[in-house]
Structure 1
Amino acid sequence: MKISSIRTEQHSGYSILRANCNGFDLWYKFPENVPLTNSADPFIAASLLISMANNQDIELESSAYYSPKLVENLEQLQRIFSHWQPYLGHRLYPVNIIGGTPCEQANTCNDTVSFFSGGIDGTYTYKQKQQEIDYLLFAKGIDMQLNSDALYQQAFACNKQYLAKQGKQLIPCETNVRFLGYKNKLNWGVCFGGGLSSIALALGVKKCFIAAGLTYQNNIPEGSNYITDRLWSNQHTHIIHHGANTRRIDKLKTLANDPDYLAILRVCWHDDGYNCGECEKCLRTMSSLRTLGIHTDTFPTLTDQMVKQKLSGLKLYNVHDLQFLDENIEQAKAINDTVMIKALEHIKRNFQLRELANQFDELILHGYAHKLKQMVIRH
C-alpha cells in the first residue's frame, strides 16, 4: 500500500486531510475551524488490515511523518489480528512500514472526543463519560452513505439539539475511509477499528472513545474490540474502547430514563428514512423496546402481527448478532412474552441449522455446496 501526497487543503467553510492510497483518494473533511494534523498516522491506521490482506508493505514518502509509538503498536496489532484470521474471513500477512520519517510531532490539542449518531452504544458511552468529553463527532460516510445529504442533515439537527441542551457541541465530519476497505474487498466489520481511530488521529485529539458493540462475555474477534482498539493510539492520541461491560439491552434500559434521547433514537444504516423499521438492526431494536416496555416515536410499535409477519421471518447471517438475539430472548422470557419468545427462538434455530449445514459442507463436502450455489447465482 503506497501512501503518498499527504496534505491538508483549506476550502471555504471546511478543511480536508487527504492522501493517495494505492490510487484511492482517502480523505477526512471537517469544519474549517477544526485544526487537523499533517501526519501519516491516520492513513497508516486506515490501511493496516487492508495491507495485511493484500500482503503489501505500507510505503511512505520520505517527507511523511509517522509516530514511532503507533508503529510499535502495529506489531502487536498484527500478531493479534493474525490469530483471528478464521473469524475475520481473510488471510492476513505481516507487513512493514517502509520509508517515511519517524517523529513524535508536538501537538497542543488536549480535547477528548467520542462518536455520536443517536445510536445506543455511542449514546451510552457519551452519558457515562459526559464530564470528560469536550465535543462529539457525527461522521457522514460511517453512519450513513456520503450521498444521503437530506437524511444526514435531519439526523445531525436532531443530535445537535439534543446535545446542545446538555452543553455539548456536535461536530460534523465526513470521510470515505469505509470505502477504502470495500475497494479492496474487505468489509467494514474487519477494518472499522482502524477506520474510526484514523478519524481521531486526523484530528490529533488527546483522547477518543470508541463505543463497544459486544461485551467482554460475548466478544467475538472483529475490527473494533476491547483488546485491539487501544493499540491504534500514537504518542499523543489515546484510543479507548468503552462499554464492553454492559449488554446493549441494558444500555437501552438505562438510556430510557432520558425521554429527550428516546425522541432521537436512531440505529438504522439503510438510509431509508430515519429508521426503516424493516432491517435486522431496526427489528432487533424494536424487539428490545417491546420487551422493555419502552415507547419512542422514532420506531413503529412492534405489534403481535408484526412479530409474526416480519420478525419471525428474519434471518441472521452473522454470529455477532446472536448476542443481541439472546439478550432479547432472555428479556422476553422475563416478562413471559410468548409471542416474542416463539419468534426469537425460531430465528435462533434457523441460524443454528444453517451454521450446521455450512460446517457439514466445509468438513465433509469440502465446500462443494457453497461452490455450487455460487455457480447458480452467477448464471
Structure 2
Amino acid sequence: MDDNTWSSMVNKNRNFSEGLGKPLIAVETNFKSFTSFYGLVRFTNFGSCLACIGLILGFETVYLSSSATYRKIMFSGSHPLVDPFWSTEVTRFIHCGLEADRSDKIKYLCSNREAIDNLWVCWKKPEINCGKCPKCIRTYVALLTNDIIDFKFREKPEPGDIQKVEIHSEEELSFFEEFLIHAKNYKKVELSKVLSKKILRYKLKQILIEIVDTYLPRAQAWRLKRRSDEDHMVDINLEPRYSDRNVLEHVRGKKNLSLNETKVGTIYR
C-alpha cells in the first residue's frame, strides 16, 4: 500500500470512527515485510502482531474479533484459547464474536448505514470493494442471505461469480457451509444449490487427494520392488584404466552380464 492510499484509508476510517464518538489511532508496522523476509506465514502469527500493538499502546482491554464461530473453530494466528495468554497485569485480551458467523455479522452491520457504507473487505483494492475477488464474493453471498442488494461494489457481482470461486481450505469450507445453512433457513433455493455443489466438489476433491496420498506411494513401492527382481537393472562395472589383461579377462568371465551395458566413463586411481 503506497503512502497516498494509506493516508486515504486513514482519513476514511477516522471520519467513520469520529462519527461513532471514538478516536482512531492509526498504527503502521513492518509485520508484512518482516514475515515475508523470513518466510513466515502471516496466517499463523497475525494474532501476535495485534497483541503487540495492544501491549505497546497500553490499553486496559483489547478485543480481538473472531473469524470463526463456536460451531467450527479453526487453527489460526488468532484463537479463543490462545489470545487470552497475551494478557499481562496491565492489558487484558478478549477473543470475541464467536456467537455470530459472517452472515449474522453482516446483518448486524446493516442496522448502521454508515457502518455498512464504510465496510472494506477487498484485498485487491484498498479504497473500494472490487466485487470480483474471493473475499468480495464471500461478502456478496452473505449479503444475499440477508436480502441486501444495495451494497457498493465497483463491479457488481453476479450469481454466476459464486461458481467461479474455488474453496482452498477447511477454513473457507466452513464459511460456505455457514452460508448454506442461512440460504436453506431463508429458503434461497437457487443459492442453496450453488453452494451445495461447491461444497460437494471440494469434499470430493479432498477424498481423491487422500486416496492418491494413501495408495499411490504403495503402488510406487510395489513397482520398484518388481523392477528390482528383473534382470535389466543397471549394472555398474569398475574397471582399472591400466589393467593386467589376464586379471581383466578373469573378472569378465566371473561376472553376470546384464542385458544392457552403458559406459559412463573412467575412474582414475
Q: Give TM-score, length-normalised by structure 2.
A: 0.74
1:315–1:201 distance in 2 versus 1, CA, 3 Å: same
Aligned residue for 1:364, secondary structure, equals helix
Q: CA deviation at 1:211?
A: 0.7
Aligned residue for 2:26, secondary structure, equals strand
Partner of 2:58: 204
Match among 75, 80, 84 for residue 226 of structure 1: 80
Partner of 2:198: 347
CA contact (8 A) 1:255 1:261 kept: yes
Q: Give TM-score, length-normalised by structure 1.
A: 0.54
Higher relative contact order, chain-length normalized (CA < 8 Å, sep 6+):
1
Q: Distance in 1 between matches of 2:94 and 2:212?
A: 40
Partner of 1:82: none
Q: CA deviation at 1:357?
A: 2.3
Amino acid at match of 2:43: G
Amino acid at match of 2:205: R
The reply to whether residue 236 of structure 1 matches residue 90 of structure 2 is yes
Q: CA deviation at 1:218?
A: 0.5
Aligned residue for 2:27, secondary structure, equals strand
Superposed, 1:74-93 pairs within 5 Å as none
Q: CA deviation at 1:346?
A: 2.1
Aligned residue for 1:150, secondary structure, equals helix
Gaps of 5+ in 1: 1-146, 370-379
Partner of 1:358: 209
- CA deviations 1:136-158 (Å, max 9, x no partner) are xxxxxxxxxxx333333333223
Aligned residue for 2:216, secondary structure, equals coil
Q: CA RMSD in A?
A: 2.4
The reply to whether residue 313 of structure 1 matches residue 164 of structure 2 is yes
Partner of 1:281: 135
Superposed, 1:187-202 pairs within 5 Å as 187-202=41-56
Q: CA deviation at 1:321?
A: 1.4
- CA deviations 1:331-365 (Å, max 9, x no partner) are 22233333322222222122112211222232222
Q: Distance in 2 between matches of 1:162 and 1:367?
A: 59
1:235–1:264 distance in 2 versus 1, CA, 3 Å: same
Q: CA deviation at 1:277?
A: 1.1
Q: Distance in 2 between matches of 1:201 and 1:172?
A: 15
1:219–1:200 distance in 2 versus 1, CA, 3 Å: same
1:354–1:367 distance in 2 versus 1, CA, 3 Å: farther
Q: CA deviation at 1:300?
A: 5.9
1:344–1:226 distance in 2 versus 1, CA, 3 Å: same
Q: CA deviation at 1:165?
A: 1.6
CA contact (8 A) 2:124 2:133 kept: yes
Match among 139, 142, 148 for residue 2 of structure 2: 148
- Aligned-pair identity in percent equals 26
Partner of 2:174: 323
Partner of 2:110: 256
Superposed, 1:15-54 pairs within 5 Å as none
- CA deviations 1:238-286 (Å, max 9, x no partner) are 2211111222211111111111111111111223651121111110001
1:236–1:333 distance in 2 versus 1, CA, 3 Å: same
Q: CA deviation at 1:227?
A: 0.5
Higher normalized strand content (fraction of residues): 1
Q: Distance in 2 between matches of 1:368 and 1:248?
A: 44
- CA deviations 1:302-342 (Å, max 9, x no partner) are 66xx212x211210112111222112212222333333222
Aligned residue for 2:95, secondary structure, equals strand
**How many residues are aligned here?**
220
The reply to whether residue 178 of structure 1 matches residue 32 of structure 2 is yes
CA contact (8 A) 1:290 1:302 kept: no
Q: CA deviation at 1:184?
A: 2.7
1:253–1:213 distance in 2 versus 1, CA, 3 Å: same
Amino acid at match of 2:176: L
CA contact (8 A) 1:266 1:298 kept: no
Amino acid at match of 1:355: Q
CA contact (8 A) 1:275 1:298 kept: yes
Match among 123, 126, 131 for residue 269 of structure 1: 123
Amino acid at match of 2:159: V
CA contact (8 A) 1:315 1:350 kept: no
Higher normalized helix content (fraction of residues): 2
